Amino acid sequence: MTAADALLEVRSLTRRFAGVCAVDGVSFSVGRGQVHAVIGPNGAGKTTLFNLITGFDSPTVGEVRFEGHAVSGLPPHRLAGLGIGRTFQTPQICAELSALENVMLGAHLRLRRNPVAAMLRLGGIVQRDRALREKAAELLAFVGIGTSGDVPGRGMAYGDLKRLEIARALAAEPRLLCLDEPAAGLNPRETRDLGELIRGIADSGVTVMLVEHDMRLVMSLSQHIIVLNYGRKIAEGAPDEVNRDAEVLSAYLGVHG
Amino acid sequence: MRLGSRGVGLAMTGIGLAILPLLLPNAFWYDLATRAAINAVVVIGLNLLIGYAGQISLGHAGFVGIGAYASAVLTSRLGWPPIAAMAAGALATAFLALLVARPILRLRGHALAMATLGLGIILSMIFTNESQWTGGPDGIVVRPFSLLGLAIAGERQWYWLCAALLLVTLWAAGNLVDSPFGRAMRALHTAEPAAKAVGVDPAAVKASIFVLSAVGASLMGSLTAHYVGFVTPQVASFLTSVELLTMVVVGGMASLAGSVVGAAVLTVLPQLLTRFEGAETAAFGLVLVATMIAMPRGLVPTLRERLGR
């Protein structure tokens, strides 16, 4: 794979917080399609890396390129417009909106957002919203919570909130979807279902990046794994290559026995 | 489903506003109803900003003041037609709100409260001190409202005009809340990271709702000036800002119906309490405190919850 083919390219990315290097000179590229995982012990810099890629944080040094364009330093809403979507470790769901409305929020950039037109119902806003409502219901069904459409966010179970986050991110039709610990807090059955969902998303052509602690899930889903430890990339490759790497075994897998 | 319940609410409000005059015994009550309707429109705008978008404003009376003084000064001193003066006031308000929105709305919580408070106080000082234009503390007389030679006169006409405006505002605000912009605004309030991650530009959304809310206040300020026929700096005072905020909170945050109820209750209540001569302010305060203890989420949301809706 040449750099030009890469969907996402990270070059010597570094983020320092008051002397601590959360991400330290990390470089890698992510090709189109498939599932790519970022793993590492707690505090390895995985979430910081995600924040740098999705615009929630800016690098101290280095750059992020998405589809060949330098995007580091752009705010999250601009990156969303370029096709980078994400979910959060702790679900960020608007408690006052229904599940359906939370998904509809995901399509924000593809809708008319002028408040005056909205007040006067001009420009087909209502018609497009109605069409979007159906699309959102389909997405809810796709992630497996099709019956929760009218339930407000505050009334939903934790596992369903995590699925709702994914549905909302998909509503934005991202080309790269970053999932930050989607299986955290889920029971084994929910985790298995989630694995199938993520595979389904990848099969539909969306490139998935995954930060995850559940090794079985990571190994079964990913074609490409990046291992971080203390902010540095210590290994990268296919699951079986990473599994054999001595440094990974001592730094990370060793911790888990 | 949602749209349906909204339509029913709107129809019921319309019927209520239409039969209310049958219950109004005299001009004094017409006047109260008219003032309540005007306040309700301002409070709906303020509730969109505070209750839905989660941004506080302690200076909203300042925007009411810009509209009121634009109408007063431009019609009475410069002889402008009322509608032109009203539009000029709204434009000036929009410009000012847009100018201060970006730096002010980057602030949060107490800092935002202080910044909007400061803005309101500056405006109120301008209205008090620029007496060659505004009449200073003594106020300024305003010509009656007329449009295309048609004058609005008498408490009945004013009531119908303001009731119609309230209904239109409720409809428009409901449309806004249920639109893509409305969802973005509500999401910013409780799940800002999620909103940003799907492309919501927080600064743009907050600025838009701030400007809209300010323009609504300005338009109602203009109307009040013509209705009362007289403007003093009190219209733009800090106390008026607090009164508007109280209407939002008592009626219920993020509730359009609550805004109407809050405005109505707080406009009428002080008049009902005048029988407690000398202690009316204390009685008013007591009622407010008791309401907020018994119904911390405001009248409408709490009642809705208790009635199982």
Distance separating alpha carbons of residues A59 and B84, to the nearest angstrom: 52
Q: Which residue has the tokens 């794994």?
A: A225
Distance separating alpha carbons of residues B246 and B262, to the nearest angstrom: 8
Task: Work out how many CB contacts closer than 8 A connect A with B.
Answer: 114
A2 pLDDT higher than 70: no
Compute CA B90 distance to the chain's CA centroid, rounded to the nearest angstrom. Answer: 14
pLDDT at residue B97, as a whole number:
94
pLDDT at residue A257, as a whole number:
40
**Residue B254 sits at the chain A interface (C-beta within 8 Å):** yes
Minimal Cα–Cα distance from A54 to chain B, Å?
8
**Residue B212 sits at the chain A interface (C-beta within 8 Å):** yes
Minimal Cα–Cα distance from A107 to chain B, Å?
7
In Å, how far are A50, A172, A175, B200 from A87, measured between CA atoms?
10, 12, 14, 15
pLDDT at residue A256, as a whole number:
47
Find the residue in B nearest to A122 (Cα).
Answer: B175
Contact A118 B208 (CB under 8 A): no
Contact A114 B183 (CB under 8 A): no
Burial class (CB in 10 A: 0-12, 13-18, 19+), B296: exposed
For residue A60, which phi and psi values (nearest 5 degrees)? -75, -45
Amino acid type, A256: H
pLDDT digits (tens, 9 = 90+) for B201-253: 999 999 999 999 999 999 999 999 999 999 999 999 999 999 999 999 999 99
Distance separating alpha carbons of residues B108 and B55, to the nearest angstrom: 8
Minimal Cα–Cα distance from A207 to chain B, Å?
17
Percent of chain A scored above 70 by pLDDT?
96
Closest by CA to A162, choosing from A190, A138, A136, A134, is: A190
pLDDT digits (tens, 9 = 90+) for B30-65: 999 999 999 999 999 999 999 999 998 999 999 999
In Å, how far are A54, A208, A230 from A169, measured between CA atoms?
12, 12, 29
Distance separating alpha carbons of residues A156 and A161, to the nearest angstrom: 6
Nearest to B197 among A85, A97, A125 (CB): A85
Question: Are B205 and B185 within 8 A, CB to CB?
Answer: yes
Distance separating alpha carbons of residues A84 and B16, to the nearest angstrom: 49
Q: Where are the beta strands (DSSP E) in B119-238?
A: 140-141, 146-147, 150-151, 230-231
pLDDT at residue B232, as a whole number:
95
* Residues of A with Cβ-Cβ distance to B1 under 8 angstroms: 150
pLDDT at residue B96, as a whole number:
95
Task: Label residue A253 by pLDDT band (50, 70, 90).
Answer: low
Question: Are B139 and B237 within 8 A, CB to CB?
Answer: no
- H and E: helices and strands count for chain B: 14, 4
In Å, how far are A22, A102, A202 from A172, measured between CA atoms?
29, 12, 15
**Residue B109 sits at the chain A interface (C-beta within 8 Å):** no
Contact A76 B180 (CB under 8 A): no
Percent of chain B scored above 70 by pLDDT?
98
* Residues of A with Cβ-Cβ distance to B201 under 8 angstroms: 75, 77
Distance separating alpha carbons of residues A110 and A107, to the nearest angstrom: 6
Nearest to B199 among A56, A81, A95 (CB): A81
**What's A173's DSSP letter?**
-
Burial class (CB in 10 A: 0-12, 13-18, 19+), B157: middle
Mutation target among B198, B209, B210 for the A interface, most CBs of A within 10 A: B198
Nearest to A129 among B179, B196, B202 (CB): B179
pLDDT at residue A231, as a whole number:
93
* Residues of A with Cβ-Cβ distance to B254 under 8 angstroms: 96
Minimal Cα–Cα distance from B212 to chain A, Å?
8
